[in-house]
Amino acid sequence: MSAIDTEFVDELASYAGLARRAAAAYLSGDLSPYLEVPATEYLDRGGKGLRPALCLATCSAFGGDVEKALPSAAAIELLHTAFLVHDDVEDDSDLRRGEPTLHRKYGPALAINAGDGLAVVALGALRDNERALGRRLAARVWSEFDFMARQTVDGQARELGWRRDGRTDLTPDDYLDLIMKKTCWYTTLLPLRVGALVGSRGALDLEPMLRFGFYLGAAFQIRDDVLNLTGSEAVYGKETLGDLREGKRTLMLIHLLAAASPSDRRQVVGYLALDPSQRSSEVAEHIMTLMDDHGSVAFADEFARGIARAAGVAFEEAFAAAPDSPARRFIRELVTYMVERDR
C-alpha cells in the first residue's frame, strides 16, 4: 500500500469509526441475543468502511455537517453487512474478515435471519432522517435506498443465475452491466448521491455522480476480484481463490474463456460445469495458472487502472461545485486507493 498515504488511511478509519458506532447503536437495546450477537459480529470484526466514509465525506465536501449524514451512513454500513451475510451463505464461503463466516459459526438459519435483521435495522436507521433532514429530504434519501436495493438484489440474482446456468459466453460488457447493478449502486453511487443530497440540502444535480460512481465502483470491484485471486488470505480476510471455487464470472474468467486455446478452454468449461463441491483446490490452482499464462490477471488489473483514470476525470466533473477541502481531497484519493489497496 505504498502509494496510499497515512493521512488518507487515518481519515478513512475515522469516518468508518463514526459510521460503525452509529450502526452499532441501532443494533443494541431491545433485540434478543439470538439476533444481536450474530448481527453485530461482522461489524465488530472491522472492515474498511469505504461506503459510509464516501457518504460522509461527500456530504462534507458539499458543505454539509457529517452528523446530518450519519443515519444514512449507518444504514449503508448495516445494509452492506446484511449483503455480506447473505452472500456468504449463497456462495457458501468459509472466511470473512479473517474468521469463519456467520453461517459456519451459527448455522445457516440464524445467519440468514441475522442478515434480514441487519437490513431491517438499516431501514429503521433511515427513519431518523425525518428529524435530521425534514420529511421532504428524508423521503428523497429513502427513495435512493429503495432504488439501490432493487438494483443490488437484481444484480445478485443475475450473477447467481449465470453460475447456475453455467454461462461461458459472457463478454466484458456483460460483466460491467452486472457490476453496475450488483456493486456500484450500493458501494459508490448511493453513498455519493445520498452524501451529495444531504450536503447540498437537495440542491445539487446528481446526474454527474452517475458516471463517477460507476467508474469508482467498477475499479473497486475489479480490484476486489483480483485480490481474491492474488491477495494474501491473512490481509484480505477471505479464502484465496474462493471466487474461482464458486465459479464466479469475473473479468479474469471472461478473459480466459476468450483468450485460451481450444484445449485450455475445454478445461475451463469442464471445470465450470462441475458442482462447486467437486472443484478441488488443485484444479482451481490450475485454472489460476492458466489465467496467469494468458495474462488474464494483468488484463483485469490494467482494466481497473484504466477505469480508475476515467474515474479521476469524472470526479472533477461531479465535484465541480465543491470547493477544495480535506473531504474533497479524501474522495479524490479514494480513486487511487480503489486500485492500490491490498485488503
Q: Check binding of 113 to its own copies (CB under 8 A).
A: yes
Amino acid 27 reads L
The cell for 190 is 448511493
Cell of 224: 476486489
Site for its own copies contains 114 (CB under 8 A): yes
How big is the site for its own copies, counted in residues (CB under 8 A)? Answer: 45
Amino acid at 72: S
Cα 40 → chain centroid: 19
Rounded-to-5 percentages of helix, strand, coil across the chain: 80, 0, 20
Quick one: 62 or 106, whose CB is closer to its own copies? 106
Show the beta-strand stretches assigned E in the chain: 95-96, 99-100
Interatomic CA distance for residues 45 and 96, integer angstroms? 9
Reading the block at residue 153, the C-alpha cell is 438484489
Q: Is residue 150 at the binding interface for its own copies, with CB under 8 A as the rule?
A: yes
Q: Of 93, 160, 279, 171, whose CA–CA distance to 268 is shortest?
A: 279
Is residue 16 a contact partner of residue 52, using CB atoms and an 8 Å limit?
yes
Judged by CB under 8 A, does residue 225 bind its own copies?
no
- Pick one of 6, 136, 263, 320: the residue that binds its own copies (CB under 8 A): 136
Least Å distance, CB 74 to its own copies, is: 14
Q: Smaller CB distance to its own copies: residue 117 or 208?
A: 117
- Least distance (Å) from its own copies to the CB of residue 253? 18
Answer yes or no whether residue 210 interacts with its own copies by CB under 8 A: no
| Site residues (CB under 8 A) for its own copies, limited to 91-110 | 91, 106-110
Q: Which of 2, 6, 33, 324 binds its own copies (CB under 8 A)?
A: 33
Note whether 153 binds its own copies by CB under 8 A: yes
Scanning the structure block, which residue is given the C-alpha cell 475515522?
14
Residues of this chain that bind its own copies (CB under 8 A): 30-35, 86, 89-91, 106-110, 112-117, 119-121, 123-124, 127, 130, 135-136, 139, 142-143, 146, 149-150, 152-154, 156-158, 160-161, 164
